[in-house]
A and B are shown apart, each in its own frame.
Chain A
Amino acid sequence: MSVLSVKDLRLRFHLRHGVVHAVDSVSFSIERGETVGIVGESGCGKSVTFLSLLGLIPSPPGRIESGTAHFNGRDLLRCTTGQLRAIRGRHIAMIFQDPMSALNPYLRVGTQVMEPLRLHPSCSRREAWSRAVTALQNVGIPDAERRMRAYPHQLSGGLRQRVMIAMAMITGPQLLIADEPTTALDVTVQAQVLAVIKKAQQETGAAVALITHDMGIVAGTCDRVLVMYAGRIVESAGTDAIFYRPRHPYTKALLETLPAAHQPGQPLLNVPGRPPDLLGEIRGCPFAPRCPHVVDACRETPVSLQPVGDDHASACLRVQAGEI
């Protein structure tokens, strides 16, 4: 049973100097309790996809051109602002990359952790306080009672991110969107924070959409992976399949360029060029100019994500035709 099912989402930014095709025909679904990794390089549309679902893209310039996004039988893209507000923070929660700019520096931690409870279900102040303390304890914040009265600047980066997680999970959401939750943190702290997210997920049974650029994090935490490139999903499969049997040249390239995939000292395999400019329409496959397997058809024919195996889909024409 899927928690979220997105079909044919198209998001464009209408700017003075042209139209940016930020998200192009993106379809995917997230099942109950699973962790889905969304990977790709910066600017590939992984964050804006989820921001647009929550109605967090400023419009103008952003405009959702088409698509549906069913969450609990309701189309998020057709909700009014008021309806979305009732869903955000209660049923779908989000944590951001930089906990310093996501927390309000003027408010005490406790006030912010209690806020979702005070806004959504009717809940007394006293009860909200004790639930917030429990939430902070659950994410491994020592001395939670005292931290409730602290301001964000008094906490370290790792603690702030834990506060964000506590805030997001306090209403028991069905879907947690974690946008690069550990990118701003050090590796030793990153490992702690990922474990906290995992634990919170196991306790509440929430589905997690983990947006990241780090293939290592995907390998360690995700059940399924969506690989994005130039505003499109180019491959979708289970984590093991993505790592051991990638079916799109971009995914392959992404894995092969990692220093960890090489013998030390050997030159790294690399993909020439860089991701395309999304200003203006891309005909054919967006990866074609950099792809080692490119044929003429790739540049001309529109491609879409098609099943190429068991629970495995790829947006490569040549893979779909069985040529690679």
Chain B
Amino acid sequence: MQPLLELQDVRTYFPVRVGLPFGRRTAMVKAVDGVTLDVQPGEVTGLVGESGCGKSTLARTIVQLVPATGGQIKFDGVDLRGLSHAALKKTRRSLQMVFQDPYASLNPRMTVLDALAEPLRAHRLAPRQGTVSRVVELLESVGLSARDMRKYPHEFSGGQRQRIAIARALALKPKLLVADEPVSALDVSVQAQILNLIAGLCKSTGLTLVFISHDLAVVRHISQRIAVMYLGKIVEIGPTERVFMNPLHPYTRALLHAIPIPDPKRDRARMRQFLPGEPPSPLNPPAGCAFHPRCPYADERCKCQVPAFDEREPGHAATCLKLDSIR
């Protein structure tokens, strides 16, 4: 089957001015640095990593909110980078995004009706009569009611606002939805409601989802495949359960070790392995394997050689030179 989304060596760099005085030198923040990823239609892919690893920038690059510096982003077989403005707008219909902060992503001066009708109007899909009924249908699909249509965002709670943002993203019946930390700003009891909603929508409409989160438990719950990012690169990718049961990359292992388990006995029983240090700056990433300064297994080779993907199980690969010695 042809993948819906093909990322080939995608790079997104941001220039920053450094040095005193007056920042005369320009340096590059390599937010996304060579990501290759295929997403099959109907699949839920989870993207995890710590803050600053480039997962949000990758999301924004996929929907073309920030221009990529290099590489290919093929959506439905077409490279988005080469498209004209008009052609891109047409493609955007099938490529939608949900943002982390539902307080910031809705215009406070637009009613829910306006917010949900806007994508329809922008793409000239709003029939003269049917707009309101389409909006009602959307609201009901995310668990809100027609009564909410005339309200403004401030009248809703965080969870309800996120429902509105999801409804807005679904208004154009997209093929691919990119959700960037959609539940991180919500309380646990509300988080469960929104996760169920997203999972249900994917199942019922066959929507393809790229789900970004720093919360491994959430990603494990919702996605079939998982990609772990570190400093702008994917370091491990595989079927969700395989990655959790048999993590290959030392970073993935450390990440799994560090998540607190809400079960005191299991938490006491497990081995504690602390990762020293913190993620380095993407302005000046370490040479070789970017993880080597924190890696307990690193040797001389890791400091100079950039590791390539090493597939150990079907569809489960990691970028690490020392996979054999970690066993």
From 179 to 233 in chain B, residues with beta carbon under 8 angstroms from any chain A beta carbon are: 187-193, 195-196, 199-200, 214-218, 220-221
A267 with B262: CB separation less than 8 A? no
Interface-centre pick from A217, A220, A271 (highest chain B CB count, 10 A): A220
Name the CB-closest residue of B to A40.
B187
Cβ contact of B258, chosen from A157, A190, A255, cutoff 8 A: A190
B260 with A264: CB separation less than 8 A? no
From 255 to 278 in chain A, residues with beta carbon under 8 angstroms from any chain B beta carbon are: 255, 257-262, 264-265, 267-272, 274-275
Cβ contact of B50, chosen from A186, A240, A254, cutoff 8 A: A186
From 251 to 283 in chain B, residues with beta carbon under 8 angstroms from any chain A beta carbon are: 254-255, 257-265, 267-268, 272, 274-276, 278-279
A259 with B258: CB separation less than 8 A? no
User: Contacts A186-B214, A195-B274 hold; do A260 and B262 have CB atoms under 8 A apart?
Assistant: yes
- Interface presence of A303 (CB below 8 A): no
Q: Which residues of B contact A265 (CB under 8 A)?
A: 199, 221
| Cα of A8 to Cα of B212 in the assembled complex, Å | 44
- Interface presence of A187 (CB below 8 A): yes
- Interface presence of A3 (CB below 8 A): no
Name the CB-closest residue of A to B189.
A271
Q: Which residues of A contact B192 (CB under 8 A)?
A: 257, 259, 268-271
Cβ contact of B259, chosen from A159, A187, A262, A264, cutoff 8 A: A187
- Interface presence of A192 (CB below 8 A): yes
User: Contacts A240-B265, A257-B191, A264-B221 hold; do A220 and B260 have CB atoms under 8 A apart?
Assistant: yes
| Cα of A100 to Cα of B240 in the assembled complex, Å | 35
The B interface is mostly helix, strand or loop, or mixed, namely: helix
Q: Which residues of A contact B188 (CB under 8 A)?
A: 41, 213, 215, 254, 257-258
| Cα of A167 to Cα of B50 in the assembled complex, Å | 27
Q: Which residues of A contact B50 (CB under 8 A)?
A: 186-189
Interface residues of B, CB < 8 Å — how many?
Answer: 43
A243 with B187: CB separation less than 8 A? no
| Cα of A212 to Cα of B234 in the assembled complex, Å | 31
Q: Which residues of B contact A219 (CB under 8 A)?
A: 260-264, 267
B241 with A264: CB separation less than 8 A? yes
A202 CB, nearest partner CB in chain B, Å = 15
- Interface presence of B107 (CB below 8 A): no
B189 with A270: CB separation less than 8 A? yes
A260 with B199: CB separation less than 8 A? no
From 210 to 253 in chain A, residues with beta carbon under 8 angstroms from any chain B beta carbon are: 213-220, 239-240, 243-244, 253
B200 with A187: CB separation less than 8 A? no
Name the CB-closest residue of A to B159.
A274
From 140 to 182 in chain A, residues with beta carbon under 8 angstroms from any chain B beta carbon are: 156-159
Name the CB-closest residue of B to A191.
B258
A270 with B196: CB separation less than 8 A? yes
A188 with B258: CB separation less than 8 A? yes
A259 with B195: CB separation less than 8 A? yes
B278 with A189: CB separation less than 8 A? yes
B98 CB, nearest partner CB in chain A, Å = 18
User: Contacts A259-B220, A262-B221 hold; do A192 and B274 have CB atoms under 8 A apart?
Assistant: yes
| Cα of A219 to Cα of B262 in the assembled complex, Å | 5
- Interface presence of A42 (CB below 8 A): yes
| Cα of A273 to Cα of B281 in the assembled complex, Å | 41
Interface-centre pick from B157, B188, B218 (highest chain A CB count, 10 A): B188
User: Contacts A158-B278, A257-B191, A268-B192 hold; do A216 and B220 have CB atoms under 8 A apart?
Assistant: no
Cβ contact of B267, chosen from A220, A270, A271, cutoff 8 A: A220
A287 CB, nearest partner CB in chain B, Å = 11
A258 with B260: CB separation less than 8 A? no
| Cα of A245 to Cα of B230 in the assembled complex, Å | 39
A248 CB, nearest partner CB in chain B, Å = 14
Name the CB-closest residue of A to B294.
A188
Q: Which residues of A contact B196 (CB under 8 A)?
A: 267-268, 270
Name B residues whose Cβ lies closer than 8 Å to a Cβ of A: 50-51, 157, 159, 187-193, 195-196, 199-200, 214-218, 220-221, 240-241, 254-255, 257-265, 267-268, 272, 274-276, 278-279
Show 26 A/B contacts (Cβ-Cβ < 8 Å), sorted by A: A186-B51, A186-B279, A187-B216, A187-B255, A188-B274, A191-B260, A191-B275, A192-B274, A213-B187, A215-B188, A216-B262, A218-B262, A219-B263, A240-B265, A254-B189, A258-B217, A259-B217, A260-B261, A260-B262, A264-B221, A264-B241, A265-B221, A270-B192, A270-B193, A274-B157, A274-B190
Which 10 A-B residue pairs are closest in the complex by CB-CB distance?
A216-B260, A186-B50, A270-B192, A215-B262, A259-B221, A41-B187, A257-B192, A268-B192, A191-B258, A259-B217
